[in-house]
Amino acid sequence: MELPTVEELADQLQDVSGAESIDVDAPLQKISDVDSLDLMEWLYNFQSEYPHIPADESLFSDMDDTTTLRTVHGRIVALVAQPAAQN
C-alpha cells in the first residue's frame, strides 16, 4: 500500500502553510507559520490523495507540545498496518 514518507508529509505541510521549512522532529505547536487550521488543510489534502488510508482529525486529537510530524507519520503507518494485523 502506497505510503508517504515523513519528508513527503513535511513538503505537503510546507506547501499548505507557507512555512519556510518544516523540521519533522520539531514539536508541531512550535513551528512558526503552522497552526491547527494548516494541519486540517493538510489533512484534507492528504485524505484526497490517499483515500485508502483512514486518517482523520483524530491524528491530532491529543496533540501536545511533544507531538512532531514524525509522531503523526508514525500514527499513519499504524493506521495502515492495523487492518493487515487484524486479517
Q: Which of 30, 37, 82, 83 binds another protein (CB under 8 A)?
A: 37
With CB under 8 A as the contact rule, which of the stretches 18-26, 31-39, 69-77, 79-87 interacts with another protein?
Answer: 31-39
**Contact between residue 24 and residue 9 where contact means Cβ atoms under 8 Å apart:** yes
Q: How far is the CB of 85 from another protein (least distance, A)?
A: 27
End-to-end CA distance of the chain: 15
Question: How far apart are alpha carbons 73 and 36 in whole angstroms?
Answer: 16
**Contact call for residue 40 and another protein (CB under 8 A):** yes
Q: Which of 13, 43, 69, 76 binds another protein (CB under 8 A)?
A: 43
Give the Cβ contact number of residue 28 at 10 Å.
24
C-alpha cell at 86: 487484524
Q: Which residues pair with 27 in a beta bridge?
A: 68
**Contact call for residue 44 and another protein (CB under 8 A):** yes
Note the residues at the interface with another protein (CB under 8 A): 35-37, 39-41, 43-44, 56-57, 60
